[in-house]
Chains A and B, each alone.
Chain A
Amino acid sequence: MDSHPALVVNDLTKVYGKDKAVAVNKVSFTVDRGELFGLIGPDGAGKTSIFRMLTTLLLPDGGSASVDGHDIVKDYRLIRNTAGYMPGKFSLYTDLTVEENLNFFATVFNTTIEENYHLIKDIYIQLERFKDRRAGKLSGGMKQKLALCCALIHKPTVLFLDEPTTGVDPVSRKEFWEMLKRLKDQNITILVSTPYMDEATLCDRIALIQQGSLLSIDTPENIVKSYPDTLYAIRASKISSLLKVLSTNEAVASAYAFGEYVHVTFKHEGPHEKDILAFLHEQGLEDIEIKPTEPTIEDCFIKLLKK
């Protein structure tokens, strides 16, 4: 194997339509061999456009990229031979059975199920008892597992997974990510996108993306570590009025709902617990709980968006 990275993306740009709406704006990153790299961002951030350009389905309007050292424009045929792609929408044949789907894609990629069975064994074992069921009749989680099997069956060197867990229940999502971790051991490079921030920590490195631009690229740990402020989690009986009240406080830099808490940062270094507790009591809130908390990727993302 040669030494170049699995993915090199340089100033990749995509513009749509007559009004020149920029979907992807000079995106650059590299992904090493065997790395699990996550593109994290909300819907419409440009994730799918990046995937389609890298899988040679769309031509970029600027910049360049290579997959396994092959240029995405010139050598698109070579990439199509070696890449594995799982689009965001379930895209298998719903009127074919599980086994027929798998067999079809194996043959299309010039291979057989037997040849690469070791790659999909862990996943396919769960599907095996449904193998005569039509793909359209599977549950969401099962569909994704089947789609992953079909994308993996030809032992791709790079696997592109566009929002593989969207619309999948939490248990299946967890299982799915465990499978991805195991695939890493097979030295398959994985580029995965997701709108779920909690999944970001499961990647080796992540890129946070918003409105076509990358905000930050690093390991999840480093991104969390680089969070500059002390973050507080505050809870009270009425969370809606808590948010409103907090934003009127002059010391507060930002306040946003985060699960059953409100996450708050302050303009100056603390400690702030006592002051804020007194302030909230004054405003008539009850059952107040206030504690410093570790920032998550989502906090980092919100912070980056505010810049």
Chain B
Amino acid sequence: MKQLLVFIKKEFAHVLRDRKTLLILFGMPVVQILIFGFALTNEVKNSKILIVDNAKDIVSQRLITQLEASRYFEIEKAAWNHDQIEEGFKAGTIKLAIVFPANFQNELLHQNSVQVQILADASDPNNATTLINYASSVIQDYQSQVNQTATVPYRIIPEMRMLYNPQLKGAHNFVPGVMALVLMLVCVMMTAVSIVKEKETGTMEILLVSPFKPILVILAKAVPYLLLSLINVVSILLLSVFLLDLPIHGSILLLFAESTLFIITCLTLGIFISVKTDSQQTAMLISLMGMLLPTILFSGFMFPIENMPLPLQIISNIVPSKWFYIIVKSIMIKGLGIAAIWKETLILVGITSFLLVISLKSFKIRLS
């Protein structure tokens, strides 16, 4: 036991004394969260929109106030004619225009139905669709508010609420993805490299000619990275809650338990790679190519798995990050409990035990 503790202490010293490793270990999650959160987001914030209010009545004013309140829009100015709208689009000063007809309130109150014109600059189709969605969801929101108090519904409103994500927040999708990505990278690469390093520098030779058991080497290598990775989970969650305003809906305890499980999966994967390779470079390349790419491609975090051809869908099942991504999404965003994700959990446990057994079996007790 004392042997193990000293070994673990040694591993911590390796990590904490190597500035580059430290930077990768703790800098990468922060940088990725920031990059995905702010730079790579497909969310459109603070878009300038033009509102043509031909009605100027209470209803239109209220609706405009609600649009203003949304952080997606920045109300530019009220114009009075269509020429100005076209000018704005051509100059690129506005992205969207909303036109309220005259007698807006009257029509709504008496005919129970009214039309609002939404114009978008479709030269950027993605942006346009997103903005139109934002605007119509604000309008629908307002209409449902009005209808709550009305005896006769003013209009049959189609149910268009976005499940789990009413504001179409981009952060929802990428936080679980980044978590899977970061843990995968940190745990797999770091453990693989740290074991292979002992082989490369020759210290493994001395360790082998000692009473120290191979299983203890593996354990001692895994424990520090497990703890350090948990710190990463905490920092990712803190960033997403406080910086990206993404609350954790489910149980935090469950989230940590599942994260620990996934970290262990990654650690065993790293150990497996280290057992099979002999140089730090190979270990690093395999970890990067073999782990990063499948995580991005097959976890469903960037590309929906449902749209993939069947063979790829089948392949995606052996990628641990896919299951972890589903688990985190379920806990964090949908607020589900273990009952909903026991299957995914079981699959991760299975992958982990499988990897652990074959790495222990193939751990070399001699050189070559």
A: residues with CB less than 8 A from B are: 52, 55-59, 76-77, 79-81, 83, 85, 87, 89-96, 100, 103-105, 107-110, 150-151
Contact = CB atoms under 8 A, between A and B. Distances in A.
A107 to B, nearest CB: 4
B329 to A, nearest CB: 39
A89 B202 contact: yes
A81 B211 contact: yes
B209 A85 contact: yes
B366 A110 contact: no
11 contacts: A80-B208, A85-B206, A87-B202, A89-B201, A91-B203, A91-B205, A95-B14, A95-B17, A105-B206, A110-B211, A151-B206
Interface stretch (B1-9, B26-34, B272-280, B306-314): B1-9
B366 to A, nearest CB: 5
Interface of B: 2-3, 6-7, 10, 13-14, 17-18, 201-203, 205-212, 365-368
B211 A57 contact: no
A104 B2 CA distance: 10
B211 A58 contact: no
Contacts, number: 74
A15 B208 CA distance: 22
Given A57-B366, A108-B6, A95 B205 contact: no
A303 B179 CA distance: 69
Contact of B7 (A92, A108, A150): A108
Given A85-B206, A87-B205, A108-B7, 5 more contacts: A56-B366, A57-B367, A85-B209, A89-B201, A95-B13
A229 B210 CA distance: 47
A16 to B, nearest CB: 9
B206 A58 contact: no
A76 B210 CA distance: 10
Nearest to B203: A91
B3 A93 contact: no
B10 A83 contact: no
Given A87-B202, A93-B14, A52 B367 contact: yes
A212 to B, nearest CB: 17
Contacts of B14: 93, 95-96
A52 B14 CA distance: 27
Given A57-B208, A83-B209, A92 B366 contact: no
The 6 A-B pairs with the shortest beta carbon distances in the complex, nearest first, are A91-B202, A107-B6, A85-B209, A57-B367, A89-B202, A81-B211
B202 A58 contact: no
A104 B211 CA distance: 13
A150 B207 CA distance: 11
A104 B6 contact: yes
Contacts of A90: 202
B205 to A, nearest CB: 5
Contact of B203 (A81, A83, A93): A93
Contacts of A58: 366-368
Contacts of B365: 76
Contacts of B3: 107-108, 110
Residue of A59, A76, A92, A107 most packed against chain B (CB within 10 A)? A107
Contacts of A150: 206
Contact of A80 (B10, B201, B202, B211): B211
A100 B11 CA distance: 12
Contact of B210 (A80, A93, A94, A96): A80
A92 B203 contact: yes
Contacts of A55: 209
A90 B368 CA distance: 20
B270 to A, nearest CB: 20
Contacts of A76: 365
Nearest to B368: A58
A167 to B, nearest CB: 14
